[in-house]
Amino acid sequence: GAVVSQHPSWVICKSGTSVKIECRSLDFQATTMFWYRQFPKQSLMLMATSNEGSKATYEQGVEKDKFLINHASLTLSTLTVTSAHPEDSSFYICSARVRQGAGGYTFGSGTRLTVV
Amino acid sequence: GNSVTQMEGPVTLSEEAFLTINCTYTATGYPSLFWYVQYPGEGLQLLLKATKADDKGSNKGFEATYRKETTSFHLEKGSVQVSDSAVYFCALDDNTDKLIFGTGTRLQVFP
């Protein structure tokens, strides 16, 4: 089935530094990928939708300059948290729309970001 | 707008008990409905889905039936195991290329 690989699974960084999270579709082409943020014991909040070769569409209230999304190829989307602060600490999950076979959505395993 | 409402957790059960997690939705048209499961520290895994009214999704002993008349997609399992302890998310795809999630329901199963 369609698999999305997300790396790293966890990362600790210092305040003020930037962190890049990668999301790769392994056996299919993902023209559309989604980035979610999840706070402890809460649901997933959609941050942005990225389409290959074009600018990402951000949800209301999400800072574009803070969370940079690049979707340069059909198999790779990246989320860069720039100038990270402790309040950016969260669980980030990517997802891809699967357009072949049974369709639907497949999710990465998530990245736990801790900013100290 | 479209939305999904789930019963609040946590749901605490003994092993082999019957499970029901309620999910209702508000949507125009004919959305597809999903249940996802999230184990601690992991991403989401698709548990089951239904794409049209009266469809029943099933997987690993879990079932949910798409009820358009009651706009519901309740998750059920006849006999839960400790390994079923996780957070369960109900979601809908309203064909706008986005999933809309419920708030999630934490299930805790004790031996």
The answer on pLDDT for B35 being more than 90 is yes
Say which of B34, B45, B104 has its CB closest to residue A43: B104
pLDDT category at A102 given cuts 50, 70, 90 is: low
- What is the per-residue pLDDT for B59? 96
Residues of chain A with Cβ-Cβ distance to B41 below 8 Å are 110, 112
- Asked if B36 and A107 come within 8 Å (Cβ–Cβ), the reply is yes
Task: Identify the residue among A7, A37, A107, A109 best suited for mutation to test binding to B, counting B beta carbons within 10 A and taking the highest.
Answer: A107
- Asked if B46 and A104 come within 8 Å (Cβ–Cβ), the reply is yes
Reported as a single tens digit per residue, the pLDDT across A40-76 is: 878 889 999 998 888 899 999 999 999 999 998 999 9
Average pLDDT over every residue of A5-14: 96
- Asked if A104 and B97 come within 8 Å (Cβ–Cβ), the reply is no
- Asked if A105 and B99 come within 8 Å (Cβ–Cβ), the reply is yes
CB A52 within 8 A of CB A114: no
SS3 A86: helix
- Asked if B93 and A46 come within 8 Å (Cβ–Cβ), the reply is no
Beta-carbon contacts of residue A5 (< 8 Å; ≥ 6 apart): A23, A24, A25, A26, A108, A109
Give B103→chain A minimum CA distance, Å: 5
- What is the per-residue pLDDT for B7? 86
Reported as a single tens digit per residue, the pLDDT across B51-98 is: 999 999 999 999 999 999 999 999 999 999 999 999 999 999 987 778
**Averaged confidence pLDDT in chain B:** 93
Average pLDDT over every residue of B4-26: 95
CB A4 within 8 A of CB A25: yes
- Tokens in use for B102? 């419920």
